Amino acid sequence: MISMRHLTKKHGARTAVEALTLEVRPGRVTGFLGPNGAGKSTTMRMVMGLDAPTSGQALVNGRPYAELRHPLREAGALLDPRSAHPGRSARAHLTGMARSNGIPAARVTAVLDTVGLAAVAGRRVGSFSLGMRQRLGIAAALLGDPPVLLLDEPVNGLDPDGVRWLRELVRGLAAEGRTVFLSSHLMSEMQETADHVVVIGRGRLIADEPIASIIERGSRNTIRIRSPRLGDLLPHLAGEGLSMRPAGGSGGDAILVLGGTLAAVGDLAFRHGVPVHELSQRRASLEEAYMELTASSVEYGERDPA
């Protein structure tokens, strides 16, 4: 488990992370979301002991990372795919890490195979593509077979097959009971991968809840209803306090109902004898819910030239 208590990091007058308190629990993939500059990478660096908090603390399995006797066996991290020396081979890089933590050499071979780099293990890292470097970073994170994993933007540079491979990998690790803390700007992929989501903006916690709950709260959840007697139904929908808007390209026989449930709208039409030819629900995506949550927290957003 990863625990943060009032975790704060300041750079002079600028606060990168402010009083962040949360727990990243085992047995699930926890997505870590936020706009550029929100403090995600800084938070992960503090968990791994690379940045010292200004105040508060971050713990891995109840202890600061710096106090772990064999840290690679307790927490693995991919924070920067460029961290491996470009003049070393992939195998040499992992072998040096393994020796520093008393990890058997056989484990190096195992993780190279897991991430698909066994065939290029003797090549210098400097010749690797970004996707290959990402895979090497994931291999390093897995090297000690740790119960806790932190992965900062691990899908960058991966091709579609690689993205799917990573999704299956992290979900499998979580299913084994490990703690997986994963950041990404790819909302569609996060929606497919994460069970739980933490959202921060300007260094502050915005949301910490199951991904389904965040999507369900999205204001863009709508119900599409199509009927040859739509005019008869509209007053009854309005009487239930439901908001409506035209459904584009519908020919005037369909509307979108904001709020409510399929069952409630269908029952309403049935009670008043209005035939329904279509009744379907469109749920908000994680991207839409995320944009609503972080609308006031974007620090480096685009501006209208006008």
pLDDT at residue 305, as a whole number: 45
8 Å CB contact between 234 and 256:
no
For the stretch 7-23, pLDDT in tens is 999 999 999 999 999 99
What is the pLDDT at residue 304? 47
CATH code for the structural domain at 222-282? 3.30.70.100
Q: What is the pLDDT of residue 300?
A: 53
For residue 209, pLDDT beyond 90 = yes
Mean pLDDT for 93-121 is 97
Instruction: Say if domain 2-209 classifies as CATH 3.30.450.40.
Output: no
The stretch 139-162 carries a mean pLDDT of 96
pLDDT computed for residue 85 by the predictor: 95
- Per-residue confidence band for 306, with pLDDT thresholds at 50, 70 and 90: very low
Q: Give residues with Cβ within 8 angstroms of 144, minimum separation 6.
A: 70, 71, 72, 73, 74, 76, 101, 103, 107
- The pLDDT of 214-240, averaged and rounded, is 86
Domain definitions of the chain by residue range: 2-209, 222-282
d(CA 50, CA 9): 12
For residue 271 the two structure tokens come to: 């009670």
Query: Contacts by 248-256 with C-beta closer than 8 Å and gap 24+?
Result: 250/226, 253/226, 253/227, 253/228, 253/277, 254/224, 254/225, 254/226, 254/227, 254/230, 254/278, 255/224, 255/225, 255/230, 256/222, 256/223, 256/224
Reported as a single tens digit per residue, the pLDDT across 50-85 is 999 999 999 999 999 999 989 999 999 999 999 999
- Most distant CA pair in the chain: distance in Å? 76
Please state, rounded to an integer, the average pLDDT across all residues of the chain.
Answer: 92
Assess whether pLDDT exceeds 50 at residue 28.
yes
Distance of CA 81 to the CA centre of its chain: 18
Same topology between domain 2-209 and domain 222-282: no
Instruction: Dig out the tokens for 70 from the structure.
Output: 């064999």
Measuring CA to CA, which residue among 148, 175, 146, 190 is closest to residue 2? 148
pTM of structure: 0.81
229-267 confidence digits (pLDDT tens): 999 999 999 999 998 988 866 677 899 898 788 899 999
